[in-house]
Amino acid sequence: MASLSRVPRTDTTALASSKLNSLHNDRVHSLRSGDYERAKTLINMVGTVKRETQVAVEDAERERQRSEKRRLDQALSSEEEQFEREWDERQVEVENECAEKLRHMDETHAYDRRVLEEQIEALIQRSAIKYSPRYLEMQDTLRKLERNHRYDEAKEVRRRLSDLEQMEIRDFEQQLAETVARRRQRLAEKQQSERTFMEQSIAHSQLR
């Protein structure tokens, strides 16, 4: 008897059914003719056919499942490859968009720094020292001493006036420098805060 293990499942069941019908008819004929040995042999053959049919059906089902798994694996692999390509393309787009945002911010910050330096230069140009009342009083005293020819006293007052003038000039220049430094620092802190916020926003928006 030919093996059923390599026959397709649909063909296997049809072939098995045909063989079983044939064996059944032979057994009936053997019983009618009194050939009991033949009938017994046919019963054994029926059992064999049923077992082979079951094995063939199970083999065919396993092969069907393996084929289905291969098909699903191939489809999944294709989808994953497509997803990876689209993901990479989108990631490049996001990175380019982020780089453009940072570039625009850098240009804006550079412009703001230039404007500030122009404002500082204008501030320095129009800034003039305002001497203290004490300085102005000593200056007036010096003029009076000179008019009255009190030169010895005038010399001492002039020396003290010169020292006070140098001190007030240093104080004025220091205050101006501190004002300039504060403006630069405020702008630097503002721009750093904006850049940090931008970088955090970019990091949050980038694909994961």
Tokens of 76: 């999944």
Contact indicator for 23, 72 with CB cutoff of 8 Å: no
Look-up of token digits 């010399």: 155
Which runs of consecutive H residues, i.e. helices, occur in the chain? 9-33, 36-126, 133-147, 151-205
Q: Return the pLDDT at 5.
A: 46
| Number of Cβ within a 10 Å radius of residue 114 | 10
Tokens of 104: 């625009």
Annotate 134-152 with b (16+ C-beta within 10 A) or e (fewer): ebeebeeebeebeeeeeee
Contact indicator for 134, 157 with CB cutoff of 8 Å: no
Positive or negative CA dihedral for 128, 134, 139, 140?
positive
Q: Return the pLDDT at 7.
A: 47
pTM above 0.75, yes or no: no
| Number of Cβ within a 10 Å radius of residue 58 | 12
| CB proximity list for 95: less than 8 A, separation 6 or greater | 206
CA angle 172, 176, 177 (to 5 degrees): 115
| CB proximity list for 201: less than 8 A, separation 6 or greater | none
Per-residue pLDDT of the chain (208 residues; tens, 9 = 90+): 444 444 454 565 676 677 777 777 776 777 777 777 877 787 788 778 778 788 888 888 888 888 888 888 888 888 888 888 888 788 888 888 888 989 999 999 999 999 999 999 999 999 999 999 999 999 999 999 999 999 999 999 999 999 999 999 999 999 999 999 999 999 999 999 999 998 888 877 665 5
Contact indicator for 53, 46 with CB cutoff of 8 Å: no
